[in-house]
Structure 1
Amino acid sequence: MAIIRDRDLVADWNDMPASVLRKCIAEHQQSIPRLNELERYYLGKHPILNRTMDSDTGLPNHRLVANHAKYITDIVVGYMVGDPVKYSGGNIEPVLEVYDKIDIVSHDTELAKDLSMYGVGLELYYMSSDESPYPKATVIDPRQLFLVVDDTIEYRPIFGVHYYPRKDGDGNIVKWSVNVYTENMVLYYEVKNISSEAYELIDVREHFFGGVPVVEFWNNEEQQGDFEQQLSLIDAYNTLQSDRVNDKAQFVDAILKIVGASLGDTEDEYSKTIQMLKKYKVLELPPNADADAGWLTKALNEADTEVLRNAIKSDIHEFSMVPDLTDENFASNVSGVAMRYKLFGLDTLSKTKDRYFIQGLRERLKLFANVLRVKGKAVNVDDVEITMTHELPADDVEKANVVVQLKDLVSDETLLSQISFVKDPAEELKRVAKQRKEAAKQQQQAFGMPMDGGSEGSVTDDEAAE
C-alpha cells in the first residue's frame, strides 16, 4: 500500500532525512502481518493445522486443508493473463522489442499472482548490466518494496523504497540494505537496525527513467486479495471436513459395551480376555436374559453434513466470483452462451481488475519510453491501446455457424478474427487467396486449359483474325 506524505515536507528528496525514511519503513511494516497471513493461506498453511486436542482423551485430530485460496488465485491469474497483453497504436516498436527481450509475458503472470494474493503488486525498473544496457523490470515482494506518494488528488510518486536483510552464513541478520528511488537518483543506504535512524549512505547513482522507477499496481479499489474476504469460509470448510474425518475415525474406534458379564477381575485378566477377543473374534456371554454386548457409536448424519459442506463451498465460489470448474454444470456439451453466463461473475471481476492493471501498464510504458528516448530511440506511447483478452473456452463450431451466416454482410477479415485459432486474419486471407489460385491452376491443368492466358501451340486472337 502506498504511503502518503506532503511533498513540501522535505526541500530536496534526494537528500532525505533519516527520520522520514525510518518512519515510512515503520509504517510499511505494519502491513506485513496481513501479507504474511495471505501468503500462508495460498501456500496451504491454514489455521486448522495448528489445532490441538487434549492428549488424555485419545480422540483423533485429523487436520485437513482444502486450499480454496490457491484455487481462486490460480484460476483468476490464468483467466486474466493467460492470453498475453496486446499493445497497438503509436510508435512503440522499440518498447515492444525490449518487452520481448525481457519476457514481459512471464513477468505479467508473476505480477498478476501478487495482485490476486496480496491486493497489490509492485514493479521495480532498472538498467541491465550489458555493454548496451536496456531497461528491465522485476516484481518485488510487497513486503520489501513500497511507494511513497504525495497527498494531492493525483497521488504522484515521490520516492520508492526497497529494503531487505543481509545475512551471514548462519542465517543471522547482520545489516539491512535500503535502496531509495527518487525521480532521478538511486540512494543506497545500509543500517544495522532497521528501526534506528543510523543510516549510512553508501552510494548515489543517477537513473534516466524520468520518474520514480517503481510502479504500484492495484487489484481493486480496496487493494484486497481475491480470496481475502473468504478466509472465514475457508476456515469453516477446513474445520467441517476435519471433524467429518474425526467422526469417521471415532466410529471405527468405537467402545465395546458389555452388560451382565465381566471380562475379568484383575487387569491381567482383562488384558488376556481382550487379546483372546481380538484373536478369535468370539465373545461368550452368561446364559441370562440381561447379558448383552454391543458398540457405543456416535450417530453420523452424513446427509446434513454434506448439505452444509456444499453450502460453504458454494459461498466460497459465489463471493469470490470464481466458479467451481469441476461442477457438473461445466460439462463439455454446454453451449458457448451458457458457458459465458456461468462465467459472468469471473468476467465482471476481471474487467474491474483489468482497469487497474492497465493503469499500471501505462506507467510502465511511460518509464520505458523515457529511457529509450535518452538512448536516441523515438517512442510515442500517448495513444497506445492496451487490450487484455480473457481465456474463455472457445466454441468454434458456434462461431463458424455465425461466420457462415454473416458472409457478404461483414468483411472476411472481421469474420476470421472471431475464430479462436486464427491469430492473424489479414495474413490468413492472403494464404486463402494463394491457396485458391493454386487450386485454380491445378484444375486448369487437369482439363488441358491454358494457365497463363496462352501457351505453346495455342492460337491468339490476333492470329485468328488474320
Structure 2
Amino acid sequence: MATDTDPYALGQSINMLNGRRWVGGLLKANKQYTMPADDWNEIKSDPEKIKEVLQYFITQHYQYQLPRILELERYYKGENDIHFANTNISSSRADNRVTFGFPKFITNTRVGYSVGNPIKFQYNEDDASDDDLKNALDNFNSRNDESYHEKVMKKNLSITGRAYELEYVKEGTNDVAIRPIDPANAFVVYDSSIEQHSLFGVRYYLIEYMNKPKYYAEVYTDDAIYYFNDGETPGTDLVFDHADEHYFFGVPLTEYINNDERMGDWEASLDKIDAIDKAVSEMANSQEDFANAILKIIGNFDISDADGEEPKHPQIDRKNAIMWLQPDVQQNIGDNGNTVIQPDVGYVTKDLNVAEWKVYVDLIRAQIHMDTNTPDTSDENFSSNSSGVAILYKLWGSDQERAIQESLYTRGIMRRLRILGNYLEVTGQIAHAEDVENYQIIYTPNLPKNDQETLQNAQILANLGTESNQTIREIVEKYTGVSPETEQKRVEDENKQEVDNDPMQKVFNRVQTPNPINTIESSKPDQSKPDQDNLSSTILDKIKGLFGGGK
C-alpha cells in the first residue's frame, strides 16, 4: 500500500486483507472539500492569499485522497495488491502472483452499456432563431470528439467514483474545448451552502524533465485562472506565476460523480477481488510445487563397490528414468534380529482438493457479479438464444444503477452546456445563453442487437400509420446506423433525382408551375376560366401531344 509520505512509492509491503485499506480511512480518502463562501470571496482576487488555501487543500489531497485514486487506477490496469503483497512464502516454494481482471471487465461493460451508443442532444424548441445555438453545439461536439470524451469520463467515474472535465479556450481562437482531467490530478472546492456551488477548481500535476521532478498548480475561479509553480512535493513551495481572465462566468472545472458516495463501480468488492486473487495464486503455487515436489527415497541403492567399502549416497539424476533400489536391513537393539525395510520411491506432496477450491472461487465470482450488478456473460444461462426480454431481465439490476448514474451525469453535461452558453453569448455567437436549458440529454443503452425484432417492430408501426416517418427512422437507426435527419435528406435527394430522370414528370411539373408575372392576375375572378376538370384535361392533352400521345 502507498506510504503516507509518497503515494507513488509502492513496493513489496502490502498486507492483503489485513485491516484498513485507505490512508486515513475512507472518510479522509473520499472527502468532498468545502469552505465558507464569504472566506473565499475575501481572498479570491489575491494570489498570495489564494496560495495559502491552495497549499492546505493540495496537501490534504496528496496525502489522503491520492493513494486511494492511484490504487483504484492500478487495479483497473491489472496491478492488483497480490503483486505487491507480503506472502511469507519460503524461497524454496513457488510464489506466483495471478490477478483476475474483474475491475477492467466491470468498467468496460458499464461504459459500453451506458455510452456505447452516442448521447443525443435534443433541442425541444422549434425556433429558427435558435439555429445559431444548435450549429454552435454541433461544431463544439464535433471538434472535441464528444462521443469519445463521454467514454473517457464514464471510465474515470467507474474506476474512481469521480471524473473531472475542463473547459478552456484554445489559444488564439474563440473555440471552446473540453478535456477529461485525471482524478489523481484534480479536485473542486465547494461552498458550505445546501446548493454546494463550486468556489474553485484545482489541477496540479508533475513534470519530470532531466531527472528533475517539479509540480505545477492551476486554480480555476469563476472569472480567472491562477498559475503557480511548486516544488518536488506538491503544496510545499508554491510560487505565483501569472493569471489569465476567462469569460465562462463559472468555474470551468466540472466534477462528475458516479453516485452519492462517490465510489467506483467495483470499489466495494475490492476485498473479494483480493480473495479470489489469493485463491487462484495459491492454486498456481500448489500446481507448480507438485510438479517440482521433493523426491522421497526409502531403501538402499543397488550399487556395487569395487573396494568393498560402504557405498556412498549417489547423486540423483532426475533425467534418469531408472533407479535400482534394494531393501534396507536395520539391526534391532539387542539380539532381536533385523528389520527389513522395503524400498520405496515417491514425492512429498500435499493433497489438493480441487473440487472445494473450485466451489470457493465460483462463490466469490458470483458474489462479485451480484454486488456490482454486472451480468456474468460466461454463464451458460446467459445464452445467445435468450430473447431480448429475457436479457433485459438479466440486466435489470444494472439498469437500476444506470438510471441513477444517468441522472448524475446529465447534471454534469448541463453544467457543461451552461458554461459553454455563457462564453458563446459574451462572444456574440448566440443571443441567449439560457437557451441551452431547452436541451434534453437522451441515452440509448448499448444492448445486444436483435435486428430482426427491430425491423419487425418498425414495420408494425409503419403499417398502423399512427407514427411519423421521423419516429420510424429513429427506431431503425439502431439497424442502419444512419440518423433520421440524414435519412430524410437521402430520401429527398432520391426523390429529386427520380424527377430529374423522368421527362414526363419534368414536363408535368413545368406546365403546372404558375408564371410569377401572372400570379396577381390569376388571383382575380375570371368568368372565362375553365373549371378544374377541363384544366387538368387540357394540361394532359398538351403533355401527350408533346410526346406524340393520343387522346
TM-score > 0.5 by shorter chain: yes
Query: Is 1:269 matched up with 2:312?
Result: yes
Between stretches 220-229 and 303-312, larger displacement belongs to: 303-312
Q: Distance in 2 between matches of 1:8 and 1:53?
A: 52
2:419 is matched with 367
Alignment of 1:298-317 (within 5 A): 298-317=350-369
SS, match of residue 279 in structure 1:
coil
Between stretches 247-256 and 365-374, larger displacement belongs to: 247-256
Q: What amino acid does structure 1 have at the position aligned with 2:159?
A: M
CA contact (8 A) 2:301 2:325 kept: no
Query: Is 1:213 matched up with 2:246?
Result: no
Residue of 400, 408, 424 corresponding to 2:464 = 408
1:253 is matched with 292
For residues 263 and 247 of structure 1, do their structure 2 counterparts lie closer, same or farther at Cα, with a shift above 3 Å needed?
A: farther
CA contact (8 A) 2:325 2:343 kept: no
Determine which structure has greater relative contact order: mean sequence separation of CA pairs < 8 Å that are 6+ residues apart, divided by chain length: 1
Residue of 426, 436, 452 corresponding to 1:397 = 452
Q: Distance in 1 between matches of 2:310 and 2:35?
A: 76
Residue of 169, 181, 186 corresponding to 2:210 = 169
CA contact (8 A) 1:51 1:63 kept: no
Q: What amino acid does structure 2 have at the position aligned with 1:46?
A: N
Residue of 165, 168, 179 corresponding to 1:138 = 179
- Tell me the TM-score normalized by structure 1: 0.86
2:45 is matched with 14
Residue of 137, 160, 164 corresponding to 1:118 = 160
Alignment of 1:174-253 (within 5 A): 174=214, 176-192=215-231, 199-253=238-292
1:48 is matched with 82
Report the Cα offset of residue 181 of structure 1.
Answer: 1.2
Q: What amino acid does structure 2 have at the position aligned with 1:63?
A: R
Deviations 1:251-284 (A, max 9, x none): 2223333344458899993343x22x64242333
Residue of 398, 406, 417 corresponding to 2:474 = 417
Q: CA RMSD in A?
A: 3.2
Q: What amino acid does structure 1 have at the position aligned with 2:46?
A: D
For residues 263 and 359 of structure 1, do their structure 2 counterparts lie closer, same or farther at Cα, with a shift above 3 Å needed?
A: farther
Deviations 1:200-240 (A, max 9, x none): 32212110001111100001110001111111111111111
1:381 is matched with 436
SS, match of residue 129 in structure 1:
coil
Q: Distance in 2 between matches of 1:38 and 1:311?
A: 23
CA contact (8 A) 2:201 2:220 kept: yes
Q: What amino acid does structure 2 have at the position aligned with 1:125?
A: E
Report the Cα offset of residue 161 of structure 1.
Answer: 1.5
Q: Distance in 2 between matches of 1:343 and 1:267?
A: 76
For residues 392 and 268 of structure 1, do their structure 2 counterparts lie closer, same or farther at Cα, with a shift above 3 Å needed?
A: farther
Q: Distance in 1 between matches of 2:189 and 2:424?
A: 25
2:60 is matched with 27
1:68 is matched with 102
Report the Cα offset of residue 56 of structure 1.
Answer: 5.2
Q: Distance in 1 between matches of 2:397 and 2:44?
A: 44
Q: Distance in 2 between matches of 1:196 and 1:245?
A: 45
**Sequence identity (%):** 30
CA contact (8 A) 2:199 2:221 kept: yes
SS, match of residue 228 in structure 2:
strand
1:286 is matched with 327
Q: What amino acid does structure 2 have at the position aligned with 1:329?
A: N
Q: What amino acid does structure 1 have at the position aligned with 2:248?
A: F
Q: What amino acid does structure 2 have at the position aligned with 1:424?
A: S
Q: What amino acid does structure 2 have at the position aligned with 1:269?
A: K
Report the Cα offset of residue 402 of structure 1.
Answer: 3.0
Between stretches 363-372 and 141-150, larger displacement belongs to: 141-150
CA contact (8 A) 1:210 1:367 kept: yes
Between stretches 208-217 and 92-101, larger displacement belongs to: 92-101
Report the Cα offset of residue 19 of structure 1.
Answer: 2.3
Report the Cα offset of residue 403 of structure 1.
Answer: 3.5
Q: Distance in 2 between matches of 1:127 and 1:350?
A: 32
Alignment of 1:82-97 (within 5 A): 82-89=116-123, 91=130, 92-93=133-134, 94-97=136-139
Report the Cα offset of residue 52 of structure 1.
Answer: 5.1
CA contact (8 A) 1:95 1:369 kept: no
Report the Cα offset of residue 311 of structure 1.
Answer: 1.1
Report the Cα offset of residue 191 of structure 1.
Answer: 3.3
Report the Cα offset of residue 68 of structure 1.
Answer: 0.9
Deviations 1:99-145 (A, max 9, x none): 21121222221111111111101111111024x33111111112222
2:525 is matched with none
